[in-house]
């Protein structure tokens, strides 16, 4: 028997195969690790955002904007906002209105096109069916 056969131990027998598979999967393991890190960061950001919302809610409760019976004053929440928060609120409303204005252009343009098509077909005498064999139907 050869000397090398006795040097291989039972636990060494699958090492090279395992090492090859491990090296092949390193890239995907790193990608999963990066995705996990990004998910943990996003979760932390969400928790921080929730804390900010809780701070704002506490401020509004302190300003008596939130009441158990409800607040009939619709501008109470706006009055409790800081100047930069008011500016952001106004910018949001202005942006929403601008979006609606631009979104209404598409159906308006389509209506004009359909009206022009209607006028065109009226001017040529309406829709006239055409047959394949060349004979006109009465």
Q: Evaluate if residue 111 carries a pLDDT over 90.
A: yes
Q: Evaluate if residue 58 carries a pLDDT over 90.
A: no
Cα Rg of the chain (Å, integer): 36
Q: What is the mean pLDDT of residues 98-103?
A: 91
Q: Evaluate if residue 26 carries a pLDDT over 90.
A: no
Residue with tokens 């501008």: 75
Q: What is the mean pLDDT of residues 50-65?
A: 77
Q: How confident is the model at residue 138 (pLDDT cuts 50, 70, 90)?
A: low
**Cα 90 from Cα 59, distance rounded (Å):** 20
Q: How confident is the model at residue 68 (pLDDT cuts 50, 70, 90)?
A: low
**Cα 136 from Cα 9, distance rounded (Å):** 94
The tokens for 81 are 């906002």
């Amino acid at each position: 028997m050869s000397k090398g056969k006795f040097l291989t131990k039972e636990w060494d027998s699958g090492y090279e195969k395992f090492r090859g598979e491990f090296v092949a999967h390193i890239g995907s393991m790193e990608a999963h690790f990066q995705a996990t890190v990004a998910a943990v960061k996003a979760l932390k950001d969400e928790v921080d955002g929730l804390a900010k919302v809780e701070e704002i809610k506490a401020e509004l409760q302190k300003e008596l904007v939130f009441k158990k019976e409800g607040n009939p004053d619709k501008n109470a929440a706006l009055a409790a906002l800081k100047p930069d928060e008011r500016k952001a609120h106004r910018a949001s409303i202005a942006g929403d209105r601008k979006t609606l204005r631009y979104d209404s252009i598409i159906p308006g343009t389509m209506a004009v096109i359909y009206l022009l098509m209607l006028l065109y077909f009226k001017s040529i005498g309406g829709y006239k069916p055409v047959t394949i064999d060349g004979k006109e139907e009465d």
